Amino acid sequence: MAKKSENRILMILNIFKDGIVWYCKYMDVLLKYMLFPVFGQIIGLILIFTANYFFVVNIPHLIKQYPILDNIPLVFTLLLICVFPGFLVFCKAFYDYIIAMGSLNSMAYVSRGEKMKNKPLDPKTHDDVLKKRLGNYIVLVLLISLLCLIGVFPLFIIPFAIVCVYLSLVFQVFMLEESTPPLGAFKRSFELVKTNFGITCLLLALSGVLTYWLLPNLIVWTFDKANAIDFLAYPIHRYLEILPIQDLVNSAIATLTSGLPLNMPISIDTNAAFNIHDIACSVVCSLIGVSVIGLLLPMRSCWFTLLYKTFDFEKGEELRKTDYKKEYKNRNKKG
């Protein structure tokens, strides 16, 4: 039993290594494919908040110059018009990222096949295949989103984490088993993982450490050492300055301390409680980290595609052995 466990761990380590090798091999194509889905969302947000910033700064002067603008519904409509281009860019990039979450599994599966190992990767072909089943794919994504919303509640965190392990192959099943409906993909993923729960958790842990913690923090550290964080944080700092957040913090602190006895000493530094510069730097670090995580999506997809391929092969072997035993028994009965 110990030897079997060691072999399973070695299998996961090989999958982990193969995913990194695959990502490095096709890095130019994969990064190009992921650039707009990842950075397009950030560009969309930048356009939204930039338009909002200039609108808020200039609207008082415009109202003085054009009294007709002194109308809340009209001002709100103009604001929506200003932020709409950025919102459109964000939605398109988000849509492309959702498509990539499915297509990358097919890319990894096909490019890892013996006949395709030395052929170039063609992301558009895989996108087109997925878009033919776009309706079912949207249903799948909505079901997963609903589960995520439920899992946010503190009482459901542990059950949700367990469910996530069982459903870690949902995208692979849906993409690679074309006749499988959304609910069928959930069931199939559960069946593949239920006898391989431990090693699936191991791959999830390795994936999380490398792509959600180590590499994002390494890139953020690099930006910090290059003194680029403060430079990138300056526009966010300026935007936060026009918001009445400090007043809201002061009001909240006053409300919290209003029930205390008058003679009780209160030592709350509101400036320390809300530091605009620190928050702006935190936002920049978060955006850099999220960008790195997004660009590493192909690596994660490859890992779990290889895991799906392994589990699917093992299940097929079990079925073949079962069928062979049944056939052998039937022959003996007839004999």
pLDDT at position 274: 67
Where residue 153 falls (left for φ over 0; alpha for ψ -120 to 50; beta otherwise) is beta
pLDDT at position 325: 47
- Flag whether 17 is in a domain: yes
- Flag whether 319 is in a domain: no
- Flag whether 44 is in a domain: yes
- Flag whether 318 is in a domain: no
Task: Round to whole Å and give the CA distance between 159 and 155.
Answer: 8
Q: How far apart are the first and last CA of the chain?
A: 38
Neighbours of 51 (CB within 10 A): 18
For 76, residues 6+ apart whose C-beta sits below 8 A from its C-beta are: none
- Flag whether 28 is in a domain: yes
Q: Which domain holds residue 155?
A: 2-256+271-312
Q: Which residue has the tokens 């002061």?
A: 250
pLDDT at position 275: 81
Neighbours of 19 (CB within 10 A): 27
- Flag whether 281 is in a domain: yes
- Flag whether 263 is in a domain: no
Residues of the chain falling short of pLDDT 50: 262-264, 266-268, 270, 272, 324-325, 327-328
The predicted model scores a pTM of 0.87
Domain count, the chain: 1
- Flag whether 326 is in a domain: no
Phi, psi of 226 (to 5 degrees): -85, 5
- Whether 331 and 208 have beta carbons less than 8 Å apart is answered as no
